[in-house]
Amino acid sequence: MSRHNILAPSILSANFNHLGEDIQTVISAGAEYLHIDVMDGMFVPSISFGMPVIKSIRKEQNCFFDVHLMVQDPGRYIDDFVSCGADSITVHAEACTHLHRVVQSIKSKGVRAAVALNPSTPLNVLDYVMDDLDMVLIMTVNPGFGGQSYIPQMTEKILELRKKIQESGRNIDIQVDGGVNDQTIHTVLDAGANILVAGSAVFKGELAEKVKRYLNIMKEYQNY
């Protein structure tokens, strides 16, 4: 089954002095997704932004909002983030006491449901929720901070997940988040990822040029 490759710039690395301009630049350059990292200072050390920021961005943008909840007990907030304009909600398996219930809650709101796994979390925690997932996010760094280096062992994890999905016949995207740059983009695409989160690699430089360059690289790949 062929997969559509998608670039998801992470606004955590944007310049907040002109966030709206940065977002418009990457969308105009061809990015289909906007990756929005929500951090609570508990599940991860950092605190980022929440509902008011997402709601204000939604007023100006019609692109796909890929909301990544790096928060403890995210099931409490599903309704709120859907109301703010999320098109997809990703929760961490490690943050959910009842993962299946949270995934079902997301699906019931009519948005895409995804589960993220930290680097040390095994794939088998997905075994009993795979039927309900639209996407799996493999964290290729430990979550909480931008600008980290890709963990090489995650390449094997992506390969294993792609094999698992293929053998099941399911239609599930694989997203990677962490350390995607000029050196690692080919690695993760070769392994089978098809939705790439890029933060500092996109926003630290000429935004439009970076987006177009990564999109051109992604067009060269057809994942199965």
Q: Give the start-to-end residue ranges of the domains of the chain.
A: 6-219
Is the pLDDT at 1 greater than 50, yes or no?
no
Q: Are 187 and 155 in contact (CB under 8 A)?
A: yes
pLDDT tens-digit map of 84-94: 999 999 999 99
pLDDT tens-digit map of 83-132: 999 999 999 999 999 999 999 999 999 999 999 999 999 999 999 999 99
pLDDT tens-digit map of 32-67: 999 999 999 999 999 999 999 999 999 999 999 999
Judge whether 178 is annotated as a binding position. Answer: yes
- CA 216 to CA 210: how far, in whole Å? 10
- Expressed in angstroms, the distance from the first to the final Cα of the chain is 5
Q: Say what percent of the chain tops pLDDT 70.
A: 98
Judge whether 35 is annotated as a binding position. Answer: yes
What per-residue confidence (pLDDT) applies to 125? 97
Among 66-70, 133-137, 154-158, 165-169, whose mean pLDDT is lowest? 165-169
Q: Say what percent of the chain tops pLDDT 90.
A: 91
Phi/psi for 150 (5° steps) reads: -60, 135
Catalytic residue among 80, 173, 177, 182: 177
Judge whether 92 is annotated as a binding position. Answer: no
190 counts as catalytic: no
Catalytic residue among 22, 37, 66, 173: 37
177 counts as catalytic: yes
Judge whether 192 is annotated as a binding position. Answer: no
Q: Pairing relation of β-strands 173-177 and 195-198?
A: parallel
Judge whether 20 is annotated as a binding position. Answer: no
pLDDT bracket for residue 223 (50, 70, 90): very low
Question: What's the average model confidence in pLDDT over 146-170?
Answer: 93
Higher pLDDT, 32 or 144: 32
pLDDT bracket for residue 222 (50, 70, 90): low
123 burial type by CB count under 10 A (0-12 exposed, 13-18 middle, 19+ buried): middle
Q: Across the chain, what does the average pLDDT equal? A: 94
Q: Which CATH class is domain 6-219?
A: alpha beta
